[in-house]
């Protein structure tokens, strides 16, 4: 018997991840995919949860693993999935985050305005598809939802996709927020296809409720934790300050990396040149720049950069009502005096805003339950539901951040 | 340095449980406490969840461990708890289930009508208190809620007591229902005392929500699982049948154990004699009897007993509406013919009933949240609450059980 | 898509165990298999490790799960295994412990001398095979090692079989002795077949070393823990005392169960009648009897039975050298006086013996490592081995047990 | 009751870490300590184990947590430890890795020759001590082993120190190598002080054996995994190449960070200036430089840097005997031709070396076991020891690395 040629990867979350397909190996070996090693899955959340230093690459690999399991379950139940479709679904989920830039959601639309990671990701997939002789064609169709077997798209991107199952599971594993645990294995066992749509068997109702509640908990306790928010706002303010004071003759703002391009030359269009530069960018560029800018003569910039490096973050408060703008203005005046900057500049040191659970909104799509008698109901329509109307509304919380 | 005289007990759930107090050691060594080794924590649920064979003794020990942690946290926050109160609280939680009879909740009020495990437990505690020279006096006061520091009673018996925290944690550990996980360690860190009442700090809101949702999930997915219900009903029907056909001359119904007393002589009053007999009773008596009764000439009895032993349980269905009694009657006729018994006897083989979540009711008491500004709100009164009115209502599900 | 007809079982150790084969379902439903629910996997070890109340049924089911994984891995590597062989291997492992009597190893050869659980098990398998129309024929061949594909037998019973992998994993899970953890998943991934024999790929050397060290640790820290030893000796002494004083007219020694047969009528041959009785016997008979005997007038018997029930166990010491018999005799004299029994009877209260690691002996068979270059070496022959000669020797420890 | 002012930190490994001391909070808030966030605990091991991205900061915090537990256990057993000594021991362990540079052990003595992280760390501690008004004086004495209570130093740095306990536990947690699990909680419970030395109670023998075996496994399976070795050698070769071709006029080798200083101006003495620069250096500087150098005209450098970025690592083989140098020379010739570089330059692309387990050597110090009768034996002197002579020898493995 020949020794195994399959690759197995140790994953602290799932045990072992098995890879036994050449296309999957080719994708993983690609520089675009390896770049995801250098992008933190949870941006700066590690400043609050020191274990949360896992990467986008690790998350994608985990989502791939769940996709393998999901497809295996569905096939065992008789779902019609060809070998090509199976490989394409696995390729698509591996690539679903390929377009993320430095610090993912935290800097999305800040560093590179006018585009998002899904759009960039699609451009990158097309490039890779060209390199790989068109082998990603079907994966791209599944990713964009154009393929006729809609449930395969729903596994990649839907209310109960393997992306969410992995990031919730992985994020609570690495943060240590054990309460956020979801029964991903049970949900996978309960998946079924009915009328071409992905659904959950009746016995899985409580697992799905639990999944939605875990998302809610992770959202407010982790993703929107006031200190996580504070650190991400600090990074955003740093980028905004650089943009404001940038001029091409100030070499101390440049770091001789593709990052310079996005301050100096980016026109707003993700053209070939921009994409080339983007594909070389990762968290390290930003963090290196922050370390350099900490020594920059601009006081606003250096104070913010030192703050981020040494974890002297904004004090942050969240509340249900907007903050009084006069109060904020007072704070700015004091900070302007303290740091010897203008009141206008002090906007970087004290400001308000609104945090919403948009990114992780509850119930914006339907999760359908398939009952034994063949009827289908939404998760909030079952008897004695936990998930009710108000939970599906967007929640706004007002925040104030200020240096102390 | 002398070698340690403390006892440490390996617990798969919490790691190590440390016991360093003589009164606690005396309680654990008492035959009444050791009897709890022979009472399953989850009655017959192991017929569905094979790992759920843990005992009342193990649960009590776990609750004791959480009590140690809770008191340590509260003291670190400045709560006024004397050494005697601390020991008493630990003794009380160790003893809180001492009055459970065979198969706990499943047979409560069936085998020994007119009393419950709390009442019996209190009688047993008084006996132990006499034996131990009055050292359990304060523990009994805490247990019965008569002591002026009410928060100590709330730790033993309240909406967020260590009893519930342990049984939820332990039951999901041994069943393997990982979704039922609660953040007991975080809840313990968030406990506080305000105006003499046990409360949760604001930061603990999501952990408490999670705790309530986990209870809900455990309730419907485990404690009221249709096959668990079916097995417990089978045990109940067996006891009812024995009571019906019992006559003192039929030696084949007796097993020469204290169990006989409760069929033969029990008057309905838990007097000294009855309590003596009770204290020698445990799950083994029942299971032994079931094995003997499986060979009894009464067909109804032997069929039920064999069914329980060999896991040929009732087929059980749950639904929101009552079942049609005519339909049930039809089933009985068929079963009577099949088993050669009367239609009246077939009541043991097909019957309906109502399951409610009384035992594990949600929100029957208040869980109070202490906000940073000193205000106090119930968990369903916070902003954007998950826990809403309808959840706190008792839910009824109608079931039908039938032999097949 | 039809709803799934597979059974999934929650296992706290592995997550979910899937059963999708009718023969396997038939075996599990059989009364012989269900009887294993009533036999503790670790006999009386729960008196030291309160969580160790898991059953032989649960262990068999776990071993079945690992067998499914092992076969799936080997097939993925190209091993020649037919569907029938696969089912047979799964059936065989499910049945491998079917012949265990009450308290397994603890009472083996004590209660029913002259036979062991493997021999009884084989008789039971043949009975089941008859009932199931010969469908277990191949399973029995695999179990007895008569089938030509020897690696399939090695998966059931060998140095690295799934039986050991499961009991080590499960026993450390339920005891909470986390150090005994083995990398069963990694070992399974490293299994291979070479020249018809089961082997381990080179990359698995450290996992196998770790497995053997974990067995050693579990052996001395758990299976031969002095208090576990003490409790098992107490049960043995109880059975021996009953045998000594048994006479057919003393009805207080009988419990009206198949247990009586083995004291009263068993001839030493496991004939049809004996097997019929055996198949109805389990831990509950013994524990029920112990509770009854605790009220028996024979002082030796009642003291021992009360001791076991209330966990007043022998004080036990282990050492490398034999104990001085004069010293033991002195202890007996004192105990005879204390309990008002003869010195000869005091043999039940103070005695010595030898504990060996026979049951769980290290390295009594070879574990072969397959190197990349095709060479095969034993695990103790690799470069810089951890596992050395002396470890493979049987270790004797002398013990003394005495009532206090 | 006031709301808690203690800080609790979520740790996926231990649950919660509590910090309730101002000096400890001051240390954690210090920029030197925060710098450890930007140094990977396991250097480039994440290229093999994608989860192994945890940081030196996280490890130090974990070791601090174990120190808290160890001291609490020892005090409960009567060890004489004052409050000042307790705080100092906690401060010392928090600071024990403060002197680590980029990629820790991987680049130690390569980037900054002639010094090691302990020496640098001590200099940094003295600086911090000055800033903190001398409050670290006792911590420094404990760290350097000059304090008379030697067991406190042994907790920080010894064969069974909390440093090793944490890194083994943490590294196997984040790599997912579950077999490397150690029973740190049990070892902590078994610690004792005898004649002023740290020892292990007799009952802890198997836990200590297990600890040493887990180290062995982690060493060969993880720390010296051939691909981990390969990636670290690649980073070393990159630094060596930069040193070789560095000249002050080539601005494309510089990155405008303190890293430049160590190529350009470092004299070999860790003086004030050098230390100032060092304290601003972390993994990000190196990774940023590697990304820049990947675009450098020097072919050797750019090939290596691209290789590291895109995980095109050396193919690496380990064996017990040295490799044939002629064979290596042949490989270099081929690589020189393939990459159009000189054979001499091809030394960077194919080379041999020796890996030893120096860093993680087994049994280089004694672990003493305290028996109940007061005797003390080394762990390899107990009856029937697992840990034998040969294990304590340094093991050499020869490796070859080559580009493919």
Return d(Cα D358, Cα D341) in angstroms, integer: 35
The pLDDT of residue C216 is 84
The pLDDT of residue D34 is 98
User: Do the Cβ atoms of A1 and C201 come within 8 Å?
Assistant: no
pLDDT, mean over chain A? 92
Q: Is A375 on the interface with B (CB under 8 A)?
A: no
Residue C288, min C-alpha distance to chain B (Å): 6
pLDDT average, residue stretch A73-99: 97
Is the separation of the CB atoms in D145 and D157 below 8 Å?
yes
pLDDT exceeds 60 at position A361: no
Q: Show the tokens assigned to A390.
A: 């108000």
Tell me which residue in C179, C391, C395 faces D182 most closely, judged by beta carbons: C179
pLDDT exceeds 60 at position B4: no
Q: Show the tokens assigned to A120.
A: 């960039």
User: Do the Cβ atoms of A12 and D176 come within 8 Å?
Assistant: yes
Considering only residues 240 to 269 of chain B, which have any Cβ-Cβ distance to chain C shorter than 8 Å? Answer: 255-257
Length of chain C: 404
pLDDT average, residue stretch B363-382: 83
Residue in C232, C216, C225 with CA at minimum distance from that of residue C43? C232
Alpha carbon C112 to its chain centroid, in Å, reads 16
Return d(Cα D6, Cα D22) in angstroms, integer: 10
User: Do the Cβ atoms of B285 and C287 come within 8 Å?
Assistant: no
Lowest mean pLDDT among A255-259, B106-110, C94-98: B106-110
More confident residue, B109 or C390: B109
Phi-psi region at A118: left, alpha or beta (left = phi > 0; alpha = psi -120 to 50): alpha
User: What digits encode the pLDDT tens for the residues B351-364?
Assistant: 999 988 754 344 45
pLDDT exceeds 60 at position D2: no
Q: A372: burial class by Cβ within 10 Å (0-12, 13-18, 19+)? A: exposed
pLDDT exceeds 60 at position A313: yes
Q: Per-residue DSSP letters for D196-251?
A: TEEEEEGGGHHHHHHHHHHHHHHIIIIIT-HHHHHHHHHHHHHHHHHHHH--TT-G
CB < 8 Å to B220, chain A: 206
User: Do the Cβ atoms of C4 and A76 come within 8 Å?
Assistant: yes
Q: Which of B50, B60, B259 to mutate to test the interface with C (most CBs of C within 10 A)?
A: B50
The pLDDT of residue A187 is 95
User: What digits encode the pLDDT tens for the residues B65-77?
Assistant: 999 999 999 999 9
User: What digits encode the pLDDT tens for the residues B255-275?
Assistant: 999 999 999 999 889 999 999
Predicted confidence band at D393 (pLDDT cuts at 50, 70, 90)? low
pLDDT average, residue stretch B295-299: 96
Residue in B124, D240, C193 with CA at minimum distance from that of residue A1? C193
Q: Which of A38, A51, A302, A306 to mutate to test the interface with D (most CBs of D within 10 A)?
A: A51
CB < 8 Å to B194, chain D: 1
Predicted confidence band at D385 (pLDDT cuts at 50, 70, 90)? confident
Question: Which residue of chain A has the CA closest to C73?
Answer: A4
CB < 8 Å to A291, chain D: 257, 280, 284-285
The pLDDT of residue C109 is 86
Residue in D154, D42, D151, D176 with CA at minimum distance from that of residue D96? D154
The pLDDT of residue B392 is 64
User: Do the Cβ atoms of B179 and A207 come within 8 Å?
Assistant: yes
Residue A66, min C-alpha distance to chain B (Å): 17
CB < 8 Å to C58, chain B: 50-51, 53
Q: Is D287 on the interface with A (CB under 8 A)?
A: yes
What residues pair up with A11 in beta bridges, in sequence order? A15
Predicted confidence band at A365 (pLDDT cuts at 50, 70, 90)? low
Predicted confidence band at A217 (pLDDT cuts at 50, 70, 90)? confident
Tell me which residue in D1, D186, D189 faces B79 most closely, judged by beta carbons: D1
User: Do the Cβ atoms of D257 and A12 come within 8 Å?
Assistant: no
pLDDT exceeds 50 at position D257: yes
Backbone angles phi, psi at D353, to 5 degrees: -175, -175
The pLDDT of residue D303 is 98
User: What digits encode the pLDDT tens for the residues A247-298?
Assistant: 888 889 999 999 999 999 998 899 999 999 999 999 999 999 999 999 999 9
Neighbouring chains of B at 3+ CB pairs within 8 Å?
A: A, C, D
List of domains in chain D? 7-224+358-393 (1.10.3210.10), 226-356 (1.20.1250.30)
Question: Tokens 């021991």 appear where?
Answer: D89
More confident residue, D105 or C15: C15
CB atoms within 10 A of CB A305: 24
User: Do the Cβ atoms of D78 and B192 come within 8 Å?
Assistant: no
User: What digits encode the pLDDT tens for the residues C342-371?
Assistant: 999 999 999 999 988 754 344 456 789 999
User: What digits encode the pLDDT tens for the residues C267-286?
Assistant: 889 999 999 999 999 999 99
What residues pair up with A356 in beta bridges, in sequence order? A396
More confident residue, D92 or A181: D92
Q: Is A19 on the interface with C (CB under 8 A)?
A: no
Backbone angles phi, psi at A267, to 5 degrees: -95, -5
User: Do the Cβ atoms of A287 and D284 come within 8 Å?
Assistant: yes
Predicted confidence band at B393 (pLDDT cuts at 50, 70, 90)? low
Is the separation of the CB atoms in A222 and A171 below 8 Å?
yes
Q: Which of C291, C295, C313 to mutate to test the interface with B (most CBs of B within 10 A)?
A: C291
In this structure, the strands spanning B376-378 and B315-319 are: unpaired
User: What digits encode the pLDDT tens for the residues D335-369?
Assistant: 999 999 999 999 999 999 998 875 434 445 678 99
Tell me which residue in B386, B390, B391 faces A216 most closely, judged by beta carbons: B386
pLDDT, mean over chain C? 92
What residues pair up with D350 in beta bridges, in sequence order? D402
The pLDDT of residue C359 is 40
Is the separation of the CB atoms in A242 and A290 below 8 Å?
no
User: What digits encode the pLDDT tens for the residues C126-168?
Assistant: 999 999 999 999 999 999 999 999 999 999 999 889 999 999 9
Q: Is A186 on the interface with B (CB under 8 A)?
A: yes
CB < 8 Å to A228, chain D: none
User: Do the Cβ atoms of D53 and A53 come within 8 Å?
Assistant: yes
CB < 8 Å to A226, chain B: none
% of chain A exceeding 70 in pLDDT: 95
Is the separation of the CB atoms in D323 and D398 below 8 Å?
yes
Return d(Cα C291, Cα B283) in angstroms, integer: 12
Is the separation of the CB atoms in B37 and B57 below 8 Å?
yes
The pLDDT of residue C391 is 65
Tell me which residue in D58, D176, D257 faces A50 most closely, judged by beta carbons: D58
User: Do the Cβ atoms of D175 and A12 come within 8 Å?
Assistant: yes
Helix axes A299-310, A283-293, angle to 10 degrees: 120
What residues pair up with B398 in beta bridges, in sequence order? B319, B354
The pLDDT of residue A114 is 85
The pLDDT of residue B143 is 97
More confident residue, A149 or B382: A149
Helix, strand or coil, per DSSP, at residue B18: strand
Neighbouring chains of A at 3+ CB pairs within 8 Å?
A: B, C, D
Question: Which residue of chain A has the CA closest to B206?
Answer: A217
User: What digits encode the pLDDT tens for the residues B118-152?
Assistant: 999 999 999 999 999 999 999 999 999 999 999 99
Number of H helices, E strands in chain B: 17, 9
Is the separation of the CB atoms in D36 and D97 below 8 Å?
yes
Is the separation of the CB atoms in C286 and C309 below 8 Å?
no
User: Do the Cβ atoms of C51 and B13 come within 8 Å?
Assistant: yes
User: What digits encode the pLDDT tens for the residues C6-61?
Assistant: 799 999 999 999 999 999 999 999 999 999 999 999 999 999 999 999 999 999 99
Query: To 5 degrees, how large is the angle CA D221–CA D224–CA D225?
Result: 55
CB < 8 Å to B77, chain D: 1-4
Residue in C11, D51, C28 with CA at minimum distance from that of residue A189? C11
Q: Is D182 on the interface with C (CB under 8 A)?
A: yes
Considering only residues 85 to 114 of chain A, which have any Cβ-Cβ distance to chain C shorter than 8 Å? Answer: none
* C394 Cβ contact partners less than 8 Å away, ≥ 6 residues apart: C356, C357, C358, C361
Return d(Cα A241, Cα D392) in angstroms, integer: 58
Phi-psi region at A268: left, alpha or beta (left = phi > 0; alpha = psi -120 to 50): left
Q: Show the tokens assigned to A10.
A: 């140790």
Helix, strand or coil, per DSSP, at residue A62: helix
The pLDDT of residue B3 is 41
In C196-278, the DSSP E strands lie at 197-201
Q: Which of D44, D291, D312 to mutate to test the interface with A (most CBs of A within 10 A)?
A: D291
Considering only residues 342 to 371 of chain D, which have any Cβ-Cβ distance to chain B shorter than 8 Å? Answer: 370
Return d(Cα D281, Cα A291) in angstroms, integer: 10
More confident residue, D135 or B387: D135
pLDDT average, residue stretch C248-277: 93
Return d(Cα B380, Cα A386) in angstroms, integer: 13
The pLDDT of residue D49 is 98
Tell me which residue in D179, D220, D384 faces C183 most closely, judged by beta carbons: D179
Is the separation of the CB atoms in D341 and D174 below 8 Å?
no
pLDDT average, residue stretch D49-54: 98
């Amino acid at each position: 018997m020949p020794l195994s040629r399959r690759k197995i990867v140790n994953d602290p979350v799932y045990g072992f991840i098995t890879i036994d397909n050449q296309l999957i190996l080719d994708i993983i070996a690609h520089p675009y995919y390896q770049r995801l090693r250098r992008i933190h899955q949870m941006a700066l959340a590690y400043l609050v949860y020191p274990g949360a230093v896992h990467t986008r690459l690790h998350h994608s690999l985990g989502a791939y693993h769940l996709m393998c399991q999901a497809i295996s379950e569905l096939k065992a139940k008789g779902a019609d999935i060809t070998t090509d479709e199976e490989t394409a679904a696995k390729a698509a989920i591996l690539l679903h985050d390929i377009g993320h830039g430095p610090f993912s959601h935290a800097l999305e639309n800040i560093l590179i305005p006018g585009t998002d990671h899904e759009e960039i990701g699609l451009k990158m997939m097309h490039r890779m598809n060209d390199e790989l002789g068109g082998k990603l064609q079907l994966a791209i169709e599944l990713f964009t939802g154009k393929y006729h077997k809609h449930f395969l798209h729903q596994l990649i991107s839907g209310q109960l996709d393997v992306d969410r199952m992995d990031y919730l599971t992985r994020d609570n594993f690495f943060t240590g927020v054990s309460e956020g645990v979801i029964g991903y294995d049970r949900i996978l066992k309960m998946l079924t296809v009915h009328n071409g749509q992905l659904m959950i068997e009746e016995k899985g109702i409580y697992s799905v409720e639990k999944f939605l509640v875990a998302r809610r908990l992770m959202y407010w306790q982790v993703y929107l934790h006031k200190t996580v928010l504070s650190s991400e706002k600090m990074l955003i303010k740093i980028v905004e300050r650089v943009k404001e004071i940038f001029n091409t003759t100030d070499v101390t703002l440049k770091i001789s990396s593709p990052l310079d391009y996005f301050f100096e030359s980016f026109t707003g269009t993700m053209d070939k040149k921009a994409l080339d530069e983007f594909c070389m960018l990762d968290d390290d560029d930003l963090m290196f720049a922050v370390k350099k800018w900490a020594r920059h003569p601009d006081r606003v910039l250096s104070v913010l950069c030192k703050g981020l490096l040494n974890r002297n973050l904004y004090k942050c408060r969240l509340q249900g009502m907007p903050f009084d703008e006069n109060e904020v203005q007072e704070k700015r005046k004091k900070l302007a005096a303290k740091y010897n900057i203008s009141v206008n500049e002090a906007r970087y040191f004290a400001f308000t805003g609104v945090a919403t659970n948009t990114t992780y909104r509850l119930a914006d799509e339907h999760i359908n339950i398939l009952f034994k008698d063949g009827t289908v109901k939404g998760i909030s329509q079952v008897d004695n539901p936990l998930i009710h109307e108000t939970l599906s509304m967007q929640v706004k919380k007002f925040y104030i951040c200020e240096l102390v």
